[in-house]
Amino acid sequence: MKILVCISKTPDTTAKIAFTDNNTKFDTGSVQWIINPNDEYYALVRAIELKEADASTVIHLVTVGAPDADAIIRKALALGGDEAIRVNTESQDSFTIASQIAEVAKQGSYDLVFLGKETIDYNGSCVGGMVAELLDLPYISLATKFELNGTTATVTREIEGGEEICEVSLPVVVSCNKGMAEQRIPNMRGIMAARTKPLKVVEPVATEALTSIAEFSLPPAKAGVKLVDADNVAELVRLLREEAKVI
């Protein structure tokens, strides 16, 4: 079985975000980059678990980005990927990214395409569906469990107020949610092996971006905290009614 896991580079969750070029670009000067946690903890680790259950399984990684994404994809290789592909282009347009991933998937004839439910920087959650459409494959989103029996997958996905269990024949595209797998940390053996694993760079296919960034903005600063004495219930009620306007 061949699995393609999509890997995205995102800012560390502790990074202080700022913008440049009239608030149309991230200021990357002081940002530390990491593997998108949803791709790493759920999609990649579940693929590794499937390989541990079937040694014939091959895991390929794909990322769409510039050369500065190589360190991120190498870390993913250290966790357990067999080889990686980097599409040599940068874009914030979801359709462009999905088109590049779909082209790699077409060339590789994969049985499974895994990706995290969304990236933690844009939170768009739309690349997986686009990839599935471009490949004309079934798509299951927000998967919390994935079990495989031959060429049939049983997938549990999160829905409003509960869970839904789906059965689907391979090949399929799945976006992975919390619960799919547990976080792993690369060991020294994996880190050393990652240095020699193949990292292939391919040029992007021609595609037209459907969206562009007009402007970024930071959320409004939080207001100061007002402390109310526990015995002063009337003042608390007044503040909730007149200032917070929640009652």
Q: DSSP string covering 68-136, please?
A: GGHHHHHHHHHHT-SEEEEEE-----HHHHHHHHHHHHHHHT-SEEEEES--TTT----HHHHHHHHHT
Number of other CB atoms surrounding residue 159 within 10 Å: 10
In a domain, residue 236? The reply is: no
- Give the orientation angle of helix 127-135 with respect to helix 94-108, to 10 degrees: 40
Q: What is the pLDDT of residue 82?
A: 95
Check if the beta carbon of residue 176 is closer than 8 Å to that of residue 38. Answer: yes
pTM: 0.86
Residue indicated by tokens 């014939």: 56
Element (H, E) at 141: strand 139-149
- Residue in this structure with the two tokens 């562009």, named with its chain if needed: 212
Q: Is residue 196 part of a domain?
A: yes
In a domain, 41, yes or no: yes
Within a domain: 233: no
Backbone angles phi, psi at 11, to 5 degrees: -65, 145
> How many domains, in total, are found in the chain?
1
> Which CATH number does the domain housing residue 175 bear?
3.40.50.620
Minimal CA–CA distance to 4: which of 125, 126, 128, 122?
128
**Burial, 195: exposed, middle or buried (Cβ in 10 Å; 0-12, 13-18, 19+)?**
exposed
Where in the sequence is the domain holding 183, given as residue range(s)? 2-219
14-17 LR contacts (CB < 8 Å, sep 24+):
17/218
Query: Residue 106 falls within a domain, yes or no?
Result: yes
Nearest-angstrom CA–CA distance, 121 and 208: 22
Asked if residue 234 belongs to a domain, the reply is no
Does some domain include residue 16?
A: yes
What pLDDT shows up at residue 17? Answer: 83
- The answer to whether position 244 is within a domain reads no
Q: For the CA atoms of the chain, what is the radius of gyration?
A: 21
Tens digits of pLDDT across the chain (247 residues): 999 999 999 998 888 888 888 888 888 877 889 999 999 999 999 999 999 999 999 999 999 999 999 999 999 999 999 999 999 999 989 999 999 999 999 999 999 999 999 999 888 999 999 999 999 999 999 999 999 999 999 999 999 999 999 999 999 999 999 999 988 888 888 888 888 899 999 999 999 999 988 898 888 887 778 888 988 999 999 988 988 888 8
